Amino acid sequence: MSEFSFKPIAHDADVEEKSRPSLSYWKDAWLRLKANKRAFASLFVVLGMLAFAFVGPFVWRVDHSVQRLDFTSKPPWADRNAVIAQPYVAWDGVVAPEPTGDNLAPETLEVVGEATTNSVRLKWDAVRNAEGYRVYRHVLRPLTGEPLGLPLGGTKSRTAVSFEDRLDIKPTTYWYSVVALDDQGTEFPEATTITVDVTLTTTVLTAIEQGWIDEADAGDLVPGSRFQLPWHPLGTDYLGRDLLARLMKGAQVSLFIGIVAPFLFVIAGVVYGSISGFLGRSVDHILMRFADFVIALPFLLFMILFKLLFGIGPGESGILPMLVALVLLSWPGAARLVRGEILQIREEGYVEASRLLGTKTPRLILRHMIPNTMGVVLVTFTFAVPSTIFTEAFLSFIGMGVTAPTPSWGAMCNDGIKTMETTPHELIFPALFISITVLAFNLLGDGLRDALDARMRYGE
C-alpha cells in the first residue's frame, strides 16, 4: 500500500446538513417542559403568583396596613350596607327612681336610641333589693336555665339602670339580658332578655378619614342616609385590614424569601462546590468536611438562634436576618451536588479535549463545567423554593419569623388559625396561597428535572 492509496475526502457540504434543525440543550429542555402539561401549567401558576405579588398592588390599590376597627374579621360576603350615624358622644346613663314592684328581674328592658355597631345603649327598670346589675349578651336566644351569654359588665347601684355596650358589636342579632345582683354580688334567679337587631353604621368622619369620600361630598351624607362600604374581595382580618391587599404584601415577603434565599444559597453552593470539585484532593477534602459540619447543624434550631443573633431592630421586618440565616445554613446541599457533578464532568472526554486544545482553567470552568451543572442546579433551586416557603411559614407561625406589622403568609396563618372555627376565611386564604405556591413549584421542579436531565428522568 503506498501513500497514494489514501485520497483526501473531497469536501462534501451535505455531510454537515442535518435532517432536523439543531436543538440546543436549553431549547430541547424547553420543548420537553412544554410537552409536560402539569409542569407547564405550574410555570404559569408561579408566574401568576409573582404577578399577584408584584403587579397586584398596582391593580388593587388598597393599603394593606389601613385598619378598620368597625369592620374586623369580615368574610368576603359580609353585608356592606351601612347607615350614616351621628358622631359618637359619650353617654351619661340613666338613673331610675327607687323601684316599687317586687319582681326579681327588671320589668322592662329597652334600647335607648339606635342599636348600632358603635354602641348599644340599654336601660331598664330598677329592681327592689338589688345592689347592682349585670348585663349579658348572647349570639343565640338564651334557653331557660341556660347561660345568658357573655358577661359585659354592669352597674353597682340599684338605681343605676343603664349600660352602654361598645364591645366589638357586629351587625347581627343579639340577645341582651339584665340580671339583678344582691349585696354579695350573687345573681337573682330571673333575668330580663330582649332581642336587638344591630345596624351597621359608620360616620361621615370615618368615611373621610378612610378616604371613601371627598371632604367636599361629605355634605350629601346626612345621618340616617345609606352608604355602601367598600368591598373586600377576600374579607378583612382581625384589625379590619383588607385581606387581599395583605395577601399581596404577604406574597411579596413569602415569595421574596422563598425565591431569593434559595437563589443565593444555590449560587453560594455552586461557587463553593465548583472550587472544591475542580481543585480536588486535600482542598476538596477540607472544604467538603466543612460542608458536612454545616449540614449537621440542627436546621430549625439554628434558624431560630441565628434569627435572634442578628436581631431585629425597631421598624424592621425581619426579612433580612431570615435571608442571611437561610443562606448560612442551606448552601452545603447545593455545594455537595455541584461538586459531585464537577468531579464527573472533569473526567468527560470533551473537557479533556478542550484542555488538550489549550483552554485555560477559568474558561474551562465557566464554559464547560458550570453550564453543564446548570440543569441540576436549576432543579435543586426549584425544589428549594417550596421548602424555603414552608420554613418561612413555619418560623413566622411560631413567632420567630417576620415581625408585625409585616405580613407573610405564615404569619397570617398564625393569626387566622386562632379563629378557625368562627372566621375560617382568615386561615383558609393564606393557607391556600401557601399550598398552591408550594405545589406549583414542586410540579415545576418535577417537570424541569424530567426536561433538563436525562439521567434524572422518570417514566412519565
Partner 1 sequence: MTKYILWRLVQGVVTVWFIATATFFVMHNIPGDPLADDKAVSEEIRENLERKMGLDKPVLQQYVIYMGNMLRGDFGLSFQHENRRVNEIIRQHFPVSAILGILAIVIAGLGGVMWGALTALYRNRWPDIVIILLVILGISVPSFVFATVGQLALVTINKIAGIEVLPVAGWGTIAHMLVPALVLGLGTMAFLTRLMRTSMLEIVSADFIRTARAKGVPMAQIFSKHQLRNAVLPVVTVLGPSIAGITTGGFVVENVFGIPGLGRYFVLAVQQNDYGVIMGTTVFYGAFLVLMVILVDILYAVIDPRVRLE
Partner 2 sequence: MADTYKETTATASPGSNWQLAKYGLIGILFFVVLLAALGWVTAQLEAGTKSERAVDYATNTITLALSSEPPQLDSTRATDMVSGMLLGHVMEGLLRYGPDNDLIAGMAESWDVGQMGGTFKIRQDAFWSNGTQVTAHDFVFAWRTAVNPETASQYAFILFPIKNAQSINNGEMPLTDLGAKAVDDFTLEVELERPTPYFLKLLAFPTYFPINEEFYNSTDGRYGADAEDLLYNGPFEITRWVHDASIRLDKNETYWNEEQTKLDALDFAYIISDANATLNLFATEKIVYAGLNSENLERALKNRWRIKQHVDGSVFFLEINHLPERITSNYNLRKALQLVHDPAELVYKVMKLPGNLPGESLFPVWLKGVNGNFRDEYPGPKYVPNEEKAREHLALALEELGVEELPPLMLLAGDNPVSNKQSEYYQSVYKEKLGIDVKIDKQIFKQRLAKMTSGDFDLVAAGWGPDYDDVLTFGDLFASWNLNNRGHYVNEELDRHVAIAQSSSDPVERMEAMDRVQQILHDDVAILIQYERGSVYVSDDRVQGVTRRSVGTDPDYTRAYIVQGP
Q: Cis check for the bond before 405: say yes or no (omega within 30 of 0).
A: yes
Total number of residues binding partner 2 (CB under 8 A)? Answer: 44
Number of neighbours of residue 256 by Cβ within 10 angstroms: 16
Q: Does 418 help bind partner 2 (rule: CB under 8 A)?
A: yes
Q: In angstroms, rounded to a whole number, what is the distance separating the alpha carbons of residues 155 and 130?
A: 11
Which of 51, 279, 308, 309: binder of partner 2 (CB under 8 A)?
308
> How would you classify the pairing of strands 201-203 and 81-85?
parallel
- x/- contact string, 258-297, with partner 2 (CB under 8 A)? ----------------------------------------
Which span (132-140, 276-284, 302-310, 365-373) binds partner 1, by CB under 8 A? 302-310
Q: In angstroms, rounded to a whole number, what is the distance separating the alpha carbons of residues 423 and 74?
A: 8
65 binds, among partner 2, partner 1, none (CB under 5 to 8 A by kind): partner 2
442 binds, among partner 1, partner 2, none (CB under 5 to 8 A by kind): partner 1
436 binds, among partner 1, partner 2, none (CB under 5 to 8 A by kind): partner 1
- x/- contact string, 394-433, with partner 1 (CB under 8 A)? x--xx-x---------x--xx--x--xx-----x---x--
- The secondary structure of 155-198, three-state, reads ECCCCECEEEECCCCCCCEEEEEEEEECCCCCEEEEEEEEEEEC
Q: Closer CB to partner 2, residue 66 or residue 294?
A: 66
> In the range 137-196, which residues lie near partner 2 by CB under 8 A?
138-140, 143, 146-147, 149-153, 166-168
Q: Does 308 help bind partner 1 (rule: CB under 8 A)?
A: yes
Shortest distance, CB of residue 294 to partner 1, whole angstroms? 9
Which of 41, 213, 306, 340: binder of partner 1 (CB under 8 A)?
306
207, 218 contact by CB (below 8 A): yes
Please name the residues in contact with 367: beta carbons below 8 A apart, sequence gap of 6 or more.
354, 359
- x/- contact string, 347-386, with partner 1 (CB under 8 A)? ---------------------------------------x
299 binds, among partner 2, partner 1, none (CB under 5 to 8 A by kind): partner 1
Q: Does 298 help bind partner 1 (rule: CB under 8 A)?
A: yes
Which span (12-20, 190-198, 291-299, 343-351) binds partner 1, by CB under 8 A? 291-299
Q: Closer CB to partner 2, residue 31 or residue 279?
A: 31
> In the range 311-340, which residues lie near partner 2 by CB under 8 A?
311-315
Which span (265-273, 357-365, 381-389, 409-417) binds partner 2, by CB under 8 A? 409-417
C-alpha dist (Å) from residue 420 to 22, 36, 235, 424: 56, 37, 14, 4
270, 370 contact by CB (below 8 A): yes
Q: What is the CA radius of gyration of the chain?
A: 34
Q: Closer CB to partner 1, residue 283 or residue 439?
A: 439
Q: Does 219 help bind partner 2 (rule: CB under 8 A)?
A: no
The 8-class DSSP code of residue 236 comes to B
Which span (64-72, 245-253, 362-370, 382-390) binds partner 2, by CB under 8 A? 64-72
Q: Does 91 help bind partner 2 (rule: CB under 8 A)?
A: no
The letter for the amino acid at 88 is: Y
- Greatest alpha-carbon pair distance for the chain in Å reads 141
Number of neighbours of residue 429 by Cβ within 10 angstroms: 23
Return the closest-CA partner of residue 371 out of 408, 326, 341, 416: 341
Q: Closer CB to partner 2, residue 239 or residue 436?
A: 239
262, 384 contact by CB (below 8 A): yes
Q: In angstroms, rounded to a whole number, what is the distance separating the alpha carbons of residues 323 and 253?
A: 11
Q: Is the dihedral of CA 254, 259, 263, 269 positive or negative?
A: positive
Q: Closer CB to partner 1, residue 20 or residue 281?
A: 281
Return the closest-CA partner of residue 256 out of 339, 176, 326, 334: 326
Which of 419, 424, 436, 442: binder of partner 2 (CB under 8 A)?
419
Q: In angstroms, rounded to a whole number, what is the distance separating the alpha carbons of residues 303 and 259?
A: 17
Q: Does 23 help bind partner 2 (rule: CB under 8 A)?
A: no
Within 13 Å, how many C-alpha atoms sit on residue 250's CB side? Answer: 31
Return the closest-CA partner of residue 237 out of 246, 224, 226, 249: 246
Q: Closer CB to partner 1, residue 325 or residue 365?
A: 325
Q: Can you give the binding site for partner 2, defined by CB under 8 A? A: 65-67, 69-70, 72, 90, 138-140, 143, 146-147, 149-153, 166-168, 209, 238-239, 308, 311-315, 399, 403-405, 414-415, 417-422, 459-460
Question: What residue ranges bind partner 1 (CB under 8 A)?
Answer: 289, 292-293, 296-302, 304-306, 308-309, 311, 386, 390, 393-394, 397-398, 400, 410, 413-414, 417, 420-421, 427, 431, 434-436, 438-439, 442, 458-460
